[in-house]
């Protein structure tokens, strides 16, 4: 998986190591492939401990650790179990730091190629906001290079029948979430409300703080909303049998692979059939022999290809909060914010706070990224405090731009560069508020009815479960 980009190979080349001076036994270990998101090949492991550190110190999960001694030392979940049977949240941060490819995402390329080659299926790709500012790194471009047009063209060359933009449903998520927040405030519902679009975070609270699950927004994540709409709204509009539609999400995230398999999501059909990481898409582009640099810029298909600047912000930590504040402001005042940039919530810190007054409604807000940073807030809530009214939580430090499915890039400025590009996409959009997305307005007028209404609720919302080991 990392052949050619392995740090150990690079060091061996650099130091001229061509032969093994010491011969002896080789450590044998079973492949751990049971998790829907993360695979382990312990035979490749060089015991550097980076994964253990990120899992314990950055994510506060502790799903893996060193076990045994000397030659038998190994990095493993407790009792040599599979990652699938311990409270791993599938965030993939261990994959990003592993220098040798002993950890990797569970590949979804085979089912996607099979669907593409099946003449009876219509394959629909959708692309998350953060993918477009990172995919170029796989082809030698600097971190943060925006490659949206080439990305769409590549997906068509690979064989996708339709290419939609997950940003469309990011706008939809904001409208549903803002509506839910105001309904909770006005109706005395559970507060603070916490965002639910990061599946690693959702799994974390299900495992470690299940008593706080009522605080999670019931909104599905944007790509799940989009999948549900492709198989209902779009199928109905075009007279297509939903069973023929195969939805492949291209995501910066490994936890979305687990999320897509949740039984709570989808009805007779799953909302999303396969999740590809940014890295996997790059592998597919190479496998198809496509010269990425020579691709023309192409646009997304309609009607789920139209999005506002607010939707792009989803890719950056604090972005969901910033986009939601724009729409809450509109819901409370009927107008748009005089300045759309909500500076207090921007930046690289793992926890950011802000307070706003909108038409007499005082809101205490927080944006948190990296799971270690949410623990203290959850502990205060468990003790009966209500420190905020609305909290955004992203499992990965820096948000989706630094997701576990993004290109492995040692550039220490990569998160900042990708984040700045997300802000630039927002800044350059002619429409920058989710409630002003005309295609989303048409969706409500022609199909869904009211935000939070019965059909919106059945297609776009979900529930959560307390978990022990999985």
Q: Of 105, 180, 224, 280, which residue is the catalytic one?
A: 180
SS3 content of the chain, % helix, strand, coil (to 5): 45, 15, 40
Q: Are 367 and 214 within 8 A, CB to CB?
A: no
Contact window for ligand SF4 (CB under 6 A) among 55-63, 179-187, 380-388, 443-451:
55-63
- From 259, 306, 322, 392, the catalytic residue: 259
What is the gyration radius of the CA atoms in the chain, in angstroms? 22
Of residues 1, 63, 170, 193, which one binds ligand SF4 by CB under 6 A? 63
Q: Indicate whether 377 belongs to the interface with ligand SF4 (CB under 6 A).
A: no
Only one of the segments 24-32, 44-52, 140-148, 274-282 lies at the binding site for ligand SF4 (rule: CB under 6 A); that segment is 44-52
d(C-alpha 221, C-alpha 170), whole Å: 8
**How far apart, in Å, are the Cα atoms of 81 and each of 33, 64, 182, 240?**
11, 10, 44, 44
Taking the complex as a whole, the smallest distance from the CB of residue 320 to ligand SF4 amounts, in Å, to 21
Of the candidates 38, 128, 135, 245, which one interacts with ligand SF4 according to CB under 6 A?
38
We find the least distance from the C-beta atom of residue 61 to ligand SF4, in angstroms, to be 4
Q: Does 393 bind ligand SF4 (CB under 6 A)?
A: no
Active-site residue, 256 included: yes
Give CA angle at 231 (444, 331), nearest 5°. Answer: 25
State the Cα–Cα distance between residues 128 and 167, nearest whole angstrom: 7
- Whether omega before 405 lies within 30 degrees of 0, making that bond cis, reads no
* H/E element, 232: none
The single residue among 11, 46, 183, 288 that binds ligand SF4, judged by CB under 6 A, is: 46
Q: Enumerate residues 95-114 that contact ligand SF4 by CB under 6 A.
A: 97-100, 102-103
131 near ligand SF4 (CB under 6 A): no
Is 93 among the residues that bind ligand SF4 (CB under 6 A)?
yes
Task: Tell me whether strands 103-105 and 38-41 are parallel, antiparallel or unpaired.
Answer: antiparallel
Active site residue 107: no
CB 177 within 8 A of CB 324: yes
Q: What pairs with residue 103 in β-bridges? A: 40
Within 10 Å of residue 268's Cβ, how many Cβ atoms? 7
Rule CB under 6 A: choose which of 2, 32, 45, 448 binds ligand SF4. 45
Give yes or no: 259 in active site.
yes
Q: How many CA atoms lie within 13 A of 414 on its CB side?
A: 24
CB 261, min distance to ligand SF4, A: 15
Establish whether 177 is a catalytic residue.
yes
Of residues 64, 146, 216, 422, which one binds ligand SF4 by CB under 6 A?
A: 64
Helices and strands (DSSP H and E) totals, the chain? 17, 13
Query: Is 49 among the residues that bind ligand SF4 (CB under 6 A)?
Result: yes
**Residue 83 Cβ vs ligand SF4, minimum distance, rounded to whole Å:** 6
**253 among known catalytic residues:** no
Q: How far apart are CA 461 and CA 463, in angstroms?
A: 7
The answer to whether residue 321 forms part of the interface with ligand SF4 (CB under 6 A) is no
Nearer to ligand SF4, 345 or 396 (CB): 396
List, in sequence order, every residue forming a beta bridge with 216; answer none if it has no partner.
194
Does position 6 interact with ligand SF4 (CB under 6 A)? The reply is no
Please tell me the distance from the alpha carbon of residue 343 to that of residue 346, in angstroms, as a whole number: 5
Distance CA(123)–CA(40), nearest Å, equals 30
359 class by beta-carbon count within 10 Å (0-12 exposed, 13-18 middle, 19+ buried)? exposed
Q: Of the ranges 57-65, 113-121, 213-221, 226-234, which one interacts with ligand SF4 (CB under 6 A)?
A: 57-65
Closest distance of CB 363 from ligand SF4, Å: 31
Pick one of 17, 47, 183, 466: the residue that binds ligand SF4 (CB under 6 A). Answer: 47
Taking CB under 6 A as the rule, does residue 157 contact ligand SF4? no
Q: 394, 202 in Cβ contact below 8 A?
A: no
Question: Is there binding between residue 48 and ligand SF4 (CB under 6 A)?
Answer: yes
Under the criterion CB under 6 A, does residue 94 sit at the interface with ligand SF4? Answer: yes
**Total interface residues for ligand SF4 by CB under 6 A:** 28
Does residue 174 belong to the site contacting ligand SF4 (CB under 6 A)? no
Is 138 a known active-site residue? no
- Say whether residue 92 binds ligand SF4 (CB under 6 A): yes
- Give the active site residue among 177, 306, 322, 392: 177
Residues in the chain: 470
Binding ligand SF4 by CB under 6 A: which of 50, 364, 467, 470? 50
- The 8-class DSSP code of residue 461 comes to B
User: With binding defined as CB under 6 A, does residue 55 bind ligand SF4?
Assistant: yes
Q: How far is the CB of 95 from ligand SF4 (least distance, A)?
A: 7
Q: Based on the shown chain and the rule CB under 6 A, indicate whether residue 205 belongs to the binding site for ligand SF4.
A: no
Distance CA 283, CA 85 (A): 29
**CA 57, 261, 306, 338 torsion: positive or negative?**
negative
Name beta bridge partners: 165: 127
Report if residue 31 touches ligand SF4, rule: CB under 6 A.
no
| Structure letter (DSSP) for residue 54 | I
Binding site for ligand SF4 (CB under 6 A): 38, 45-51, 54-55, 59, 61, 63-64, 75, 88-94, 97-100, 102-103
- The residues annotated with a catalytic role in the active site are 177, 180, 197, 217, 256, 259, 264, 400
């Amino acid at each position: 998986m990392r052949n050619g980009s392995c740090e150990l190979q690079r060091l061996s080349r650099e130091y001229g190591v061509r032969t093994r001076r010491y011969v002896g036994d080789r450590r044998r270990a079973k492949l751990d492939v049971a998790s829907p998101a993360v695979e382990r090949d312990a035979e490749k492991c060089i015991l550097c401990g980076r994964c253990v550190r990120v899992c314990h110190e950055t994510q506060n999960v502790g799903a893996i650790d060193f076990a045994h001694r000397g030659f038998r030392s190994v990095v493993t979940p407790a009792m040599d179990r599979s990652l699938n049977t311990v409270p791993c949240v599938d965030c993939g941060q261990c994959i990003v730091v592993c220098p040798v490819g002993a950890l990797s995402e569970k590949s979804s390329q085979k089912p996607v190629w099979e669907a593409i080659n099946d003449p009876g299926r219509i394959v629909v790709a959708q692309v998350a906001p953060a993918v477009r500012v990172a995919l170029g790194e796989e082809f030698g471009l600097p971190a943060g290079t925006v490659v949206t047009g080439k990305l769409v063209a590549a997906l068509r060359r690979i064989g996708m029948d339709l290419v939609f933009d997950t940003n469309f449903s990011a706008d939809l998520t904001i409208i549903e979430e803002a509506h839910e927040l105001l309904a909770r405030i006005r109706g005395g519902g559970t507060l603070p409300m916490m965002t639910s679009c990061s599946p690693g975070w959702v799994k974390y609270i299900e495992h470690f703080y299940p008593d706080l699950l009522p605080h999670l927004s019931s909104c599905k994540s944007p790509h799940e909303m989009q999948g549900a709409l492709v198989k209902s709204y779009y199928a109905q509009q075009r007279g297509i049998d939903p069973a023929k539609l195969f939805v492949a999400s291209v995501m910066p995230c490994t936890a979305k692979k687990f999320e897509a398999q949740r039984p709570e999501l989808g009805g007779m059909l799953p909302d999303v059939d396969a999740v590809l990481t940014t890295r996997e898409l790059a592998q597919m582009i190479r496998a198809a022999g496509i010269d990425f640099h020579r691709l023309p810029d192409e646009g997304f298909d309609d009607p789920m290809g139209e999005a506002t600047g607010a939707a792009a912000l989803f890719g950056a930590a604090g972005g969901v909060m910033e986009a939601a504040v724009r729409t809450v402001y509109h819901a409370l005042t009927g107008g748009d914010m005089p300045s759309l940039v909500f500076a207090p919530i921007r930046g690289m810190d793992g926890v950011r706070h802000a307070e706003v007054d909108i038409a007499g409604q005082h809101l205490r807000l927080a944006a948190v990224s990296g799971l270690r940073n949410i623990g203290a807030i959850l502990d205060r809530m468990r003790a009966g405090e209500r420190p905020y009214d609305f909290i955004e939580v992203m499992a990965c430090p820096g948000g989706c731009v630094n997701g576990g499915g993004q290109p492995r890039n040692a550039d220490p400025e990569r998160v900042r560069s990708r984040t700045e590009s997300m802000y630039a996409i927002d800044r350059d959009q002619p429409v920058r508020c989710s409630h002003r997305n005309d295609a989303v307005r048409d969706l409500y007028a022609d199909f869904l009815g009211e935000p939070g209404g019965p059909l919106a609720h059945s297609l776009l919302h979900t529930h959560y479960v307390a978990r022990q080991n999985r």
